[in-house]
Amino acid sequence: MKPKTKKIITLSIVVLVVLVITLLLYKVAGKEPFIRTALSGLTLGSLFFLVAAGLTLIFGLMDVLNFAHGSMFMLGAYMGWQLYTNPTFIFALLPHLLAFATGVMLLPLIKPTLVRMKLPEKWVNAIPKITLVLALLLAVFSFIGFDILAYAKTAMVAASIATAGNPFAEITPQEPFATYWIRPVLIFLSGLLVAIASAKPGNKQEFAVRERLSKTLPVPVIFFSLTILALVVRESAPKAVLLMDGNLRFAIAVLVSIIFGFVFGQVVEITLIRPLYVRPTFIIIMTLGLSYVIRELVQLLWDPLAYQMVRPPFAAQPGKAANLLEWFQKGSSTLNIFGVTFPTYRLFVIALGIVMFIFITILMTRSRLGMIIRAGVQDPQMVEALGINVKSIFTLVFALGVAMAALGGIGAGPFLPIQPLMGDQYQTQGLITVVIGGMGSYVGAFVGAMILGMARAFGDYFALKYSLSTAIAEASTVIIMIIVLLARPQGLFGKKE
């Protein structure tokens, strides 16, 4: 039987089973509880998918088990919340991040030359270690005297600022440029040293694809230009953002979270993941350690407290909209759906998950990049022989996965408490979703996420209705995974190895 036919049959069976279970739940719960719970399940499913989609790209295509994925989900929420509430911290730190990324992005330019250097064997092994130590020292020196905690605290007092009527009361003045300029220079050199260490100078076993300068130069040039722009606007940008319309500010917060996740993913893959591809177990340990580091850093900056992000105006106005058109006109906080009142922001999260599923489908099936990604996974040596840098493609895939996790974090921010442990649950549910759907199947990830979201929502509903333990609802997702694995060990849409 053809794989496409098998996929259609599997999807048909899944749809049939879901329809039967849906009808049973509708009969048992009743109309209004069923609609409300189903919509809540779709909301959870969309968030699970945003996490699982990134894991599917990273784990399913690259065989990299990223245990820091939930922490990256959490970072996206914090970055978006910080910019939406008070962006002083973002613009104070942005030149550092961009300067470091600029140095790391020079790797494709310098690697061909460094690999061909003639060095003694002891220096081949020693140079990467020495450069990494120097990179760490330069990074530390770049933050000496930089009051990062004061900038991070600005978002915590957002409510008091708003009630005081002065939106600029807690904007911490930026450090004067005369003393600040050396910091991005030092962090750029730190990133450059990391790139040198990753290139492994003199190591003849390192294969470096020599690409045209026109292909490799634009990326560091773009990052360098963004660094200069961030230096210029770091004083005026926070005030300008706070004066923006709330919907526009939220859109910028979403964009910043995505860009942060993408850049952060690139840096992590180049500096931490890439040297460990030949040691998969070390990748698991390293990403697990990275998740702890991220969590402790977040607690240091923002304290181990839970914060609530204000909903954007398009879903926060008082009143209930009778239909979608009225919601678009008034921005009501709730909407009447078949006689059930439901928060409109959660409908936005559902739409976000669907849009991202369509985006991934088009990317993987209709674009040249998707073709290269799939070919690079199947036969990387052949793709390298065609002159395509597979390592750069894998970096892009990892960055896309992290960007999707960050998007899920900012999407969840307005209705979930933003706190250091918020990513742990979604990390677990994301892994379960990938296992249920099948490794590398984005369709399976979407279907699995919706099934898990529904299971969790209805589990919570029946646990509350019949005064049962909430552990039953939490265990429902694991039970579904066990059932699926017993029936299809490769997952619903996975392929047999």
First to last CA, the chain: 16
For 288-314, the pLDDT digits (tens) are 999 999 999 999 888 888 888 888 998
List Cβ neighbours of 19 (8 Å cut-off, separation of 6 or more).
Answer: none
Q: Which two tokens stand for residue 255?
A: 């964009």
In this prediction, residue 159 has a pLDDT band, given cuts at 50, 70 and 90, of: very low
Distance CA 210, CA 242 (A): 45
Total-model pTM = 0.85
Distance CA 482, CA 479 (A): 5
Beta strands 317-321 and 340-343: pairing type? unpaired
More confident residue, 193 or 338: 193
Closest CA to 143 of 301, 8, 268: 301
Q: Is the Cα torsion angle 217, 79, 426, 302 positive or negative in sign?
A: positive
Stretch among 9-23, 217-231, 344-358 having the lowest mean pLDDT: 9-23
Closest CA to 294 of 420, 151, 152: 420
Q: Are 170 and 157 in contact (CB under 8 A)?
A: yes
Q: Return the biggest CA–CA distance within the chain.
A: 77
For 55-85, the pLDDT digits (tens) are 887 876 677 888 899 999 999 999 999 888 8
Q: Is 216 helix (H, G, I), strand (E, B) or coil?
A: helix
Helix (H) or strand (E) holding 336: strand 332-337
What pLDDT score does 291 carry? 92
Tokens 């739409």, located at residue: 351
What are the structural domain ranges in the chain? 3-316+337-487
Count the Cβ atoms, other than its own, within 10 Å of residue 50.
29
> Phi/psi at 167 (nearest 5 deg)?
-65, -10
